[in-house]
Structure 1
Amino acid sequence: MFLFYSEMKRFITINLKELISSMYKFAKVATIALLTIAVTACSSSVVEDDLEIQKKSPEALYAQARTSMELGNFSKAIRNLEALDSRYPFGPHKTQVQLDLIYAYYKLEDVASGLANIDRFIRLNPTHPDVDYVYYMRGLVNMQADAYLFHDMLDIDRTDRDPQNALNAFKDFERLIKLHPNSKYAADAQKRMIALKNRLAGYSIKVAEYYIKIHAWSAAAVRAQHVMESFPQTTSVKRALEIMIQSYDELGQKTLKQNAQAVYDRNYG
Structure 2
Amino acid sequence: MQWRNAPSKASEAKSSRHGMTLARLALVLALALPMGACSSFSNLFNKEEAVAPDEPPERLYNEGVFLLDRKQDYKEAAKKFSEVERQHPYSDWARKSLLMTAYANYEAKEYDESVSAARRYVTLHPGSPDAAYAQFLIGSAYYERIPDVTRDQGQTEKAIAALEEVSRKYPDSEYAQNAKRKIEMARDQLAGREMSIGRDELNHKRYAGAINRFKIVVTQYQTTRHVEEALLRLTESYMALGVVGEAQTAAAVLGHNFPDSRWYQDAYRLVKSGGFEPEENKGSWISKAFAKISPFAKKNS
TM over 0.5: yes
Contact 2:132 2:166 in 1 (8 A): yes
Structure 1 position 141, deviation (Å): 0.4
2:207 counterpart of 1:217: yes
Question: After the TM superposition, which residues 32-111 of structure 1 pair with which residues of structure 2 at under 5 Å, given as runs?
Answer: 56-71=55-70, 72-111=72-111
Question: What TM-score does the superposition give when structure 2 sets the normalisation length?
Answer: 0.65
Which is helix-richer, 1 or 2? 1
Structure 2 counterpart of 1:206: 196
Structure 1 position 54, deviation (Å): 6.2
Contact 2:85 2:95 in 1 (8 A): no
2:256 counterpart of 1:257: no
Q: Which runs of 5 or more structure 2 residues have no equivalent in the other structure? A: 1-49, 265-301
Aligned length: 209
Moved more, 187-196 or 90-99: 187-196
CA distance in 2, matches of 1:55, 1:132: 31
Q: Which of structures 1 and 2 has the bigger CA Rg?
A: 2
CA distance in 2, matches of 1:88, 1:139: 28
CA distance in 2, matches of 1:229, 1:201: 11
Structure 1 position 98, deviation (Å): 0.6
Structure 1 position 136, deviation (Å): 0.8
Structure 1 position 252, deviation (Å): 2.5
| Local SS of the residue matching 1:159 | coil
Query: How large is the Cα RMSD of the aligned pairs?
Result: 2.0
| Local SS of the residue matching 2:144 | helix
Residues 115-173 of structure 1: CA deviation (Å, up to 9, x unaligned): 111222222222222111111111110111116xxxxxxxxxx3222222122212222
Structure 1 counterpart of 2:179: 189
Structure 1 position 92, deviation (Å): 2.8
Structure 1 position 55, deviation (Å): 6.2
The share of aligned pairs that are identical, in percent, is: 21
2:130 counterpart of 1:140: no
| Local SS of the residue matching 1:145 | coil
CA distance in 2, matches of 1:92, 1:118: 16
| Local SS of the residue matching 1:189 | helix
CA distance in 2, matches of 1:121, 1:251: 55
Q: 1:54/1:104 Cα in 2 relative to 1: closer, same or farther (>3 Å)?
A: farther
Q: Could you tell me which amino acid in structure 2 is paired with residue 64 of structure 1?
A: E
Q: Which runs of 5 or more structure 1 residues have no equivalent in the other structure? A: 1-50, 148-157
CA distance in 2, matches of 1:236, 1:107: 32
